[in-house]
């Protein structure tokens, strides 16, 4: 009897998780250890009462409902949609599909980077930010920390943190993020991949908006400088900021790759290859 209930619970839990991009996402939001959660999904273990209550509250179902036979539970969700429709990320099926398509190759790009581009709000200055890209086996996430002090030390400007997701599709790296403080901007970066283990730079294009009241959509060439998987975060953050275009703090190769000048006769603004 116990084994039967455990099996029904595992099947129903798997169904509920399918509404989310990944099991890792569910574990993160539930704050439950992934290996222990895998035991629940595999019917190898059954949660304690308080953990069961926590899981049911998260998915918006009752304890007795999640223990129903799988076919009855599926019918229940169809007839009475749970709070899944409001708690699951919008378009989660589409995002999950893209994440699955990205698996494997994107793991090679996990680590830290310096990002360089001509700042959209200060177009004559070069912005260097710190990027972290992580891969947990199912989902690729990345964050950017942007600091805006002037190179001459005239004062410390505002700092912003951006969070987002990364996808590797058809040999291109797609990064989509948002301003975690104001939540009034989404930016996209597309990078060309590298097949050389010693590659220093990834190049591409970045699309965002200016910070002025006009909020003009703006595109700029961008460079990601590979830093590696283990870095001194404090030291790296101290190197971030806004630099004059003539500054020696930015390598000549980087300046060449982020130059936004379009060759005469070009009808599109394209990335520069290394």
Domains, the chain, in order of start with CATH, read 2-89 (1.10.260.40), 105-258 (2.40.128)
Strands 172-179 and 159-169: antiparallel
- Determine contact, residues 126/258, Cβ cutoff 8 Å: yes
Q: How many residues does the chain have?
A: 274
- Weakest mean pLDDT among 53-57, 157-161, 259-263: 157-161
Residue 214 pLDDT:
80
Structure tokens at 101: 């398509």
3-50 per-position pLDDT tens digit = 788 999 999 999 999 888 889 889 998 999 999 999 999 999 999 988
The yes-or-no verdict on residue 166 having pLDDT over 70 is yes
The yes-or-no verdict on residue 183 having pLDDT over 90 is no
Q: Which helix (H) or strand (E) holds 99?
A: helix 92-102
Residue 83 pLDDT:
57
Report residue 243's pLDDT band, with 50, 70 and 90 as the boundaries.
Answer: very high
Quote the CA–CA distance of 256 and 258 in Å, as a whole number. 6
- Determine contact, residues 171/193, Cβ cutoff 8 Å: yes
Residue 90 pLDDT:
55
Report residue 1's pLDDT band, with 50, 70 and 90 as the boundaries.
Answer: very low
Read off the pLDDT of each residue in 261-271 and give the average, rounded to a whole number: 83
Residue 2 pLDDT:
67
Read off the pLDDT of each residue in 87-97 and give the average, rounded to a whole number: 65
Residue 25 pLDDT:
87
Q: What is the pTM of this model?
A: 0.68
Quote the CA–CA distance of 223 and 243 in Å, as a whole number. 15
Instruction: Dihedral sign for Cα 148, 121, 112, 226, please.
Output: negative
Mean pLDDT of the chain: 86
Residue 32 pLDDT:
94
Structure tokens at 68: 């129903």
Is residue 6 classed exposed, middle or buried when 0-12, 13-18 and 19+ CB atoms within 10 A define those classes?
Answer: middle
User: Of 166 and 264, which is predicted with more confidence?
Assistant: 166
The share of the chain scoring above pLDDT 70, in percent, equals: 90
Residue 204 pLDDT:
97
Could you tell me where the beta strands, DSSP code E, fall in 104-185?
Answer: 111-118, 125-135, 140-147, 159-169, 172-179
- Weakest mean pLDDT among 102-106, 124-128, 129-133: 102-106
Residue 81 pLDDT:
54
Quote the CA–CA distance of 140 and 145 in Å, as a whole number. 17
- Weakest mean pLDDT among 75-89, 159-173, 217-231: 75-89
Contacts of residue 187, Cβ cutoff 8 Å, sequence gap at least 6: 162, 176, 177, 178, 206, 207, 208, 209
Is residue 221 classed exposed, middle or buried when 0-12, 13-18 and 19+ CB atoms within 10 A define those classes?
Answer: buried
Long-range contacts of the stretch 67-73 (C-beta < 8 A, 24+): 67/5, 67/8, 67/9, 67/12, 68/8, 68/12, 69/8, 70/8, 70/11, 70/12, 70/15, 73/8, 73/11, 73/12, 73/15
The share of the chain scoring above pLDDT 90, in percent, equals: 44
């Amino acid at each position: 009897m116990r084994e039967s209930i455990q099996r029904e619970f595992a099947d129903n839990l798997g169904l509920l998780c399918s509404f989310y991009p990944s099991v890792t996402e569910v574990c993160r939001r539930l704050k439950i250890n992934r290996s222990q959660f895998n035991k629940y999904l595999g019917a190898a273990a059954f949660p304690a009462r308080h953990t069961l209550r926590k899981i049911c509250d998260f998915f918006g179902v009752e304890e007795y409902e999640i223990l129903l036979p799988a076919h009855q539970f599926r019918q229940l969700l169809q007839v009475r949609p749970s709070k899944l429709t409001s708690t699951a990320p919008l378009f989660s099926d589409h995002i999950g599909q893209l994440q699955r398509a990205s698996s494997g190759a994107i793991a090679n790009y996990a680590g830290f980077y310096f990002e360089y581009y001509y700042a959209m709000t200060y177009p004559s200055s070069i912005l260097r930010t710190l990027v972290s890209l992580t891969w947990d086996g199912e989902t690729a996430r990345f964050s950017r920390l942007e600091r805006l002090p002037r190179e001459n030390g005239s004062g410390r400007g505002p700092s912003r943190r951006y969070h987002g997701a990364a996808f590797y599709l058809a040999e291109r790296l797609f990064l989509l993020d948002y301003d975690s403080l104001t939540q009034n901007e989404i930016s996209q970066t597309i990078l060309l991949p590298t097949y050389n283990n010693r590659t220093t730079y990834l190049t591409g294009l970045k699309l965002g908006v200016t910070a002025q009241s006009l909020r003009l959509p703006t595109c700029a060439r961008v460079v990601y400088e590979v830093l590696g998987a283990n870095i001194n975060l404090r030291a790296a953050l101290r190197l971030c900021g806004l630099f004059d275009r003539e500054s020696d703090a930015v390598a000549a190769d980087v300046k060449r790759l982020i130059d936004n000048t379009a060759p005469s006769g070009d009808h599109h603004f394209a990335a520069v290859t290394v």
